[in-house]
């Protein structure tokens, strides 16, 4: 019987939140969601900070808007990453191999799922699946290179 | 004195084109350009093939258009990847460390360069730099995860 354990570790310079869901699939997805969600939220924060510096003023209204946008975009990036990581892991388990084709298939499934969830029509879903696969493959290659 | 050697190896299942420019920086950039350029071109090919299958017809005009689009998009993806790989390598040499911050800095420089090269104004360049850094960091994290 799988037990769900919850343990939080937070150290300042290296942000490392460890939450054990008792299942490698869920762990990976959640890890992806949290990490990439943070990156997405920070991107908005950086962009809006630059906006404030440029405009030379900051208002409560603006701060509220930024926070909302951070949550929204963080959740979006996190969802995409969580689905992708889960899918890639699933494909790896099914194919029993570890190569760039996992990224291709995982990216394609992620693109299709996210696109289908956004209520796009069938053609758009296919095109997004192709784009998702291509981006995931490119990212994989780039990280093998360096 | 650096010698430029040229050697081509092409094996069918694993595409591996090795061109030695006699300099690790150039080698990496070229490798990134070729690999990611291929991915970008194949993405267009897949997308246009799907279009043909759906429409149920293929014409010479369409094939010519596809080929042109493949070259254009392949070159674009390849350029972005080549600049990014070169920048990340450069940052790694300067910082003498190998972590996700290289990806962040490399991605930001790449975003700024590509944006500046497209004749965008200063604000757009900054925003693109932030986005580039965020995407590169996210890709790095995702590939560490899986």
C-beta of residue A129 within 8 angstroms of C-beta of residue A112? yes
Of A118, B107, B2, nearest to B115 (Cα)? Answer: B107
Q: A22-26, A97-101, A126-130, B35-39 — which is least confidently predicted?
A: A22-26
Which member of B32, B88, B142 has the closest CB to residue A81? Answer: B142
The reported pLDDT for the residue numbered B18 is: 63
Model confidence at A125: pLDDT above 50: yes
Distance from C-alpha of A136 to C-alpha of A105, rounded to nearest angstrom: 9
**Contact, A66 vs A44, CB < 8 A?**
yes
Q: Find the mean pLDDT for residues B87-106.
A: 88
Whole-number pLDDT of residue A26: 82
Per-residue pLDDT at A13:
47
Nearest by Cα to B143 from A103, A21, A24, A74: A103
Inter-CA distances, B100 with A41, A103, B143, Å: 17, 20, 11
Per-residue pLDDT, averaged over B86-113, amounts to 89
8 Å CB contact of B134 and A43: yes
pLDDT digits (tens, 9 = 90+) for A56-108: 777 788 888 888 999 999 999 999 999 998 888 888 889 888 888 888 999 99
Distance from CA of A71 to the nearest CA of B (A): 15
Task: Name the pTM for this structure.
Answer: 0.73
What token pair was written down for A129?
């699946």
- Pick from A47, A92, A146: CB nearest B88: A146
A interface residues, B as partner, C-beta within 8 Å = 28, 31-32, 35-36, 39-40, 42-43, 46-47, 50, 54, 77, 81, 84-85, 88-89, 92, 102, 123, 126-127, 130-131, 133-134, 137-143, 145-146
pLDDT above 70 (res B1): no
Distance, CA of B114 to CA of A69 (rounded, Å): 26
pLDDT tens, B16-29? 556 676 777 788 88
Q: Please determine, for residue B6, whether its predicted confidence score (pLDDT) is greater than 80.
A: no
The reported pLDDT for the residue numbered B146 is 60
Residue-level pLDDT at A109: 92
Spell out the residues 6+ positions from residue B15 whose beta carbon is closer than 8 angstroms to its own: B38
Compute the average pLDDT of residues A22-40.
84
Q: What average pLDDT does this structure show over A26-36?
A: 85
* DSSP sequence for B96-141: T--SHHHHHHHHHHHHHHHHHHTT--HHHHHHHHHHHHHHHHHHHH
Question: For residue B42, what is the nearest residue in chain A, using CA coordinates?
Answer: A134
Residue A141 to residues A87, A88, B31, B56, Cα–Cα distance (Å): 18, 15, 10, 34
In sign, the C-alpha dihedral spanning A51, A13, A84, B133 is positive
Q: Which of A31, A32, A138 sits opposite B77 (nearest CB)?
A: A138
Average pLDDT of the residues in B117-139: 87
Q: B110: Cβ–Cβ under 8 A, 6 or more apart, which residues? A: B80, B83, B84, B87, B132, B136
Asked whether the beta carbons of residue B47 and residue A141 sit closer than 8 angstroms, the reply is no
> Which of A36, A127, A146 minimises the CB distance to B138?
A36
Task: Give pLDDT, residue B75.
Answer: 92
Contact A84, A107 (CB under 8 A): yes
* Structure token digits, residue A123: 């053609």
Distance, in Å, from the CA atom of B37 to the CA atom of B74, rounded to the nearest integer, reads: 4
pLDDT at residue A22 is higher than 60: yes
Residue with tokens 């990280």: A143
Between A5 and A98, residue with greater pLDDT: A98
- Residue A123 to residue B32, Cβ atoms within 8 A: no
Supply A111's token pair.
């693109």
Q: Which of A60-64, A120-124, B93-97 has the highest mean pLDDT?
A: B93-97
ipTM of the complex as predicted: 0.71
Q: Other CB atoms closer than 10 Å to residue B140's CB: what's the count?
A: 24
How much of chain B exceeds pLDDT 90, in percent?
14
Average confidence score pLDDT of chain A: 81
Contacts of A127 in chain B (CB under 8 A): 47, 50
User: Is the model's pLDDT at B5 over the cut of 70?
Assistant: no
Q: What SS3 class is residue A59?
A: coil
- DSSP H/E element including B144: helix B122-145
Mean of the pLDDT values across residues B73-89? 90
Task: Give the helix ranges, DSSP H, for chain A.
Answer: 24-55, 60-95, 100-117, 122-145
Residue at token pair 């991605």 = B107
């Amino acid at each position: 019987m799988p037990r769900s354990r919850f343990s939080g570790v937070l150290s300042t310079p290296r942000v490392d939140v460890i939450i054990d869901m008792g299942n490698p699939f869920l762990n990976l997805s959640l890890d992806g969601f949290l990490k990439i969600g943070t990156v997405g939220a920070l991107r908005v924060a950086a962009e809006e900070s630059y906006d404030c510096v440029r405009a030379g003023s900051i208002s409560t209204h603006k701060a509220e808007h930024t926070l909302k946008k951070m949550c929204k975009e963080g959740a979006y990036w996190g969802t995409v990453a969580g689905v992708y990581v889960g899918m890639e892991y699933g494909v790896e388990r099914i194919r029993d191999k570890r190569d760039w084709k996992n990224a291709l298939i995982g990216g394609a499934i992620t693109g299709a799922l996210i696109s289908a969830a956004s209520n796009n029509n069938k053609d758009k879903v296919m095109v997004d699946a192709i784009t998702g696969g291509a981006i995931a493959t490119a990212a994989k290659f780039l990280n093998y290179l360096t």
